[in-house]
Amino acid sequence: FLKASAVASLATGVAAIAGTTQAADKKFTIALIPGLTTDAFYITMRKGAEAAAKAIGATLVFQGGPDFNPVTQVPVLDAVIAKKPDAILIAPTDKDQLVQPLKKANDAGIPVITVDTFIGTGVYQTGKGDADFPLAYIASDNLLGGAIAARALAKAVGEKGKVYVSNVKPGISTTDQREQGFKEEMKKYPNITVLETQYNDDDANKAASQLQAVFARNSDLDGVFGANLFSALGAANGVQQAGQTGKIRVVAFDAPTSIVDNINSGLVDLAIAQHPAEIGYFGVMAAYAHLTGNSIPTAIGTGFTVIDKSNVTDKNVAKFIYSD
Ligand code: T6T
């Protein structure tokens, strides 16, 4: 005969097992809030997230704002919190402005994981500061990405001359780090002058006009680093409109479908493709691991594929071109 205490602990054990099974069987709802909905980068991230959700039988809710801006993202976040999903994956559109709005999710018991961009310093679960509460940060190494861009542009311009960074706006973790990594690396090229950064507010048309304005002030402009999809696309268009294809060299971050033609025509020297599908996939899997009682890493780094004329037709490279 078992003692009463042994029976009780057995019962607890059985209940725990039943509980685990129940958790594993539960159909979770995971929300993915992108920086904006109409960006090939986030459309591709969504695909990866959908693939993971399918694998674990979860429902993925994809909801975001029309532009890369906290003013439009925060109301979307509030609406998502009100629906009480099991977890929120989000690309915060500002390092500081999303801290308090995301704290509301955390306070409501909804686990938060940031994808692509981070809040605060991006170092989470430290027990320090007011922005360490997200469970994980899943993204490219953007400092490294900026350094890769600098080396590529330096090579393209023959390690001398004038270049500048076409960027979105200060306060976005990804594009800030790309610019930082770019400028640090450019210090190794004393004959290259990095002109003042031009901020385009994620508007490719503005980036194109800025290219022409910088060129009008600097007829000896040699190159430009487009620090994200719209910055690069716009800067490249500006180069083309100025009739400077191949003369003003372009290094692009991100790889929308149009990049293939731009590389083939020589308008863009090189594109640094991120792996957004990987970010989405591992974001959902990290949320699932947490929701089923497993611990998860506080940071997951995803890779890059550097695309240029020499490899753009290679299938293993072309698969990293973003979805439309
Ligand atoms: O470059 C990506 C993303 O990593 C960044 O945070 C914002 O811009 C993109 O979405 C491209 O438009």
Quick check: 99 and 73 in contact, CB under 8 A?
no
CA of 309 to the centre of ligand 1 (A): 23
Helix axes of 99-107 and 70-82: crossing angle, nearest 10 degrees: 0
Quick check: 227 and 145 in contact, CB under 8 A?
no
Is residue 83's pLDDT more than 70?
Answer: yes
pLDDT above 90 covers a percentage of the chain that reads 92
Q: How far is 267 from 309, CA to CA, in rounded Å?
A: 11
Of ligand 1's listed atoms, the one at least distance from the Cα of 41 is: 10
Of ligand 1's listed atoms, the one at least distance from the Cα of 202 is: 12
**Residues sharing a CB contact under 8 Å with residue 162, sequence separation 6 or more, in sequence order:** 192, 193, 195, 218, 220, 221, 222, 223
- From 114, 175, 178, 202, mutation site for ligand 1 pocket: most ligand atoms within 8 A of C-beta: 175
- From 33, 41, 119, mutation site for ligand 1 pocket: most ligand atoms within 8 A of C-beta: 41
CA of 7 to the centre of ligand 1 (A): 57
- Residue with CA at minimum distance from ligand 1 atom 6: 174
Q: Which pLDDT belongs to residue 24? A: 56
DSSP string covering 196-245: --EE-TT-HHHHHHHHHHHHHH-TTEEEEEE-SHHHHHHHHHHHHHTT-B
Quick check: 150 and 226 in contact, CB under 8 A?
no
The mean pLDDT value for 61-65 works out to 98
Q: Per-residue confidence at 8, pLDDT binned at 50, 70, 90?
A: very low
Of ligand 1's listed atoms, the one at least distance from the Cα of 228 is: 1
The mean pLDDT value for 305-320 works out to 97
Q: How far is 99 from 254, CA to CA, in rounded Å?
A: 26
Mean pLDDT of the chain: 94
Q: Which residue bears the tokens 């890059």? A: 304
Q: Which pLDDT belongs to residue 248? A: 98
Is residue 69's pLDDT more than 60?
Answer: yes
pTM of full prediction above 0.80? yes
The mean pLDDT value for 285-313 works out to 98
Q: Which pLDDT belongs to residue 23? A: 53
- Residue with CA at minimum distance from ligand 1 atom 12: 229
Is residue 15's pLDDT more than 50?
Answer: no
CA of 259 to the centre of ligand 1 (A): 15
* Token representation of residue 41: 């980068």
Q: How far is 264 from 255, CA to CA, in rounded Å?
A: 13
The SS3 call for residue 85 is coil
Of ligand 1's listed atoms, the one at least distance from the Cα of 174 is: 6
pLDDT tens for each residue of 175-193: 999 999 999 999 999 999 9
Q: How far is 92 from 74, CA to CA, in rounded Å?
A: 9
What residues are in contact with ligand 1 under a 6 Å CB criterion?
A: 35, 39, 41-42, 116-117, 172, 174, 228-230, 253-254, 274
CA of 167 to the centre of ligand 1 (A): 11
* Token representation of residue 292: 């089923």
Q: How far is 135 from 298, CA to CA, in rounded Å?
A: 6
Q: What burial letters (b/e) apply to 125-146, b meaning 16+ CB within 10 Å?
A: eeeeeebbbbbbbbbbbbbbbb
Quick check: 288 and 89 in contact, CB under 8 A?
no
Of ligand 1's listed atoms, the one at least distance from the Cα of 227 is: 1
pLDDT tens for each residue of 208-225: 999 999 999 999 999 999
Lowest mean pLDDT among 13-17, 177-181, 184-188, 281-285: 13-17
CA of 41 to the centre of ligand 1 (A): 6
The mean pLDDT value for 147-169 works out to 98
Q: Which pLDDT belongs to residue 26? A: 85
Closest CA relative to residue 41, chosen from 228, 170, 299, 205:
228
- Residue with CA at minimum distance from ligand 1 atom 1: 228
